[in-house]
């Protein structure tokens, strides 16, 4: 379940961009970044980058996280659904645990099927979301 959540967060990260500011001037290769420069980190693009995640970067493959986040791709800093570094989300562990609990409760009581009318069309309006909603056929599971 953990690998499924991590792969879902990689493919459909809620925050598609992260804002950062250079607190000091720095040179990265030939690029000089002056102090105070505001930068946007394109999380969605990084999460789909084939040079980082492999040729299957656009595919749903939870097993890529079977050895943890650090070995899922070429650079463990490339996985940032909760941001990264000292300013990352303080509630990320709680959010992951909560998601696992809720999913376990739902999956133990219901079956889920996408409606035949579903059209996959993610769009970004502040967060990544389905353009046409997600019509789901939900049936109560009876043991």
Q: Which helix (H) or strand (E) holds 100?
A: helix 92-109
> According to the annotation, is 89 in a ligand binding site?
yes
What is the rounded average pLDDT for all residues in the chain?
A: 93
Tell me the C-alpha distance between 82 and 49, whole Å: 18
| 5-16 pLDDT tens trace | 999 999 999 889
Q: Dump pLDDT digits (tens) for 57-88.
A: 999 999 999 999 999 999 989 999 999 888 88
Count of CB atoms situated within 10 Å of the CB of 13: 21
Among residues 51, 56, 55, 49, the alpha carbon closest in space to that of 13 is found at: 49
Contact 137, 109 (CB under 8 A): no
pTM of the complete model beyond 0.75: yes
């Amino acid at each position: 379940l953990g690998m499924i959540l991590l792969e879902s967060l990689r493919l459909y990260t809620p925050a598609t961009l992260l804002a950062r500011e250079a607190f000091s001037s720095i040179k990265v290769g030939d690029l000089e970044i002056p102090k105070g420069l505001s930068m946007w980190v394109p999380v969605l693009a990084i999460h789909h980058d084939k040079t980082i995640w492999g040729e299957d970067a656009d595919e749903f493959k939870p097993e890529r996280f079977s050895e943890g986040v650090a070995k899922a791709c070429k650079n463990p800093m490339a996985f940032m659904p909760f941001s990264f570094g000292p300013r990352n989300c303080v509630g990320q562990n709680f959010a992951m645990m909560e998601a696992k609990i809720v999913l376990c409760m739902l999956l133990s009581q219901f079956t889920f099927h996408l409606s035949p009318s579903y059209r996959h069309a993610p769009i970004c309006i502040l967060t990544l979301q389905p353009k046409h909603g997600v019509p789901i056929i939900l049936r109560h599971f009876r043991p």
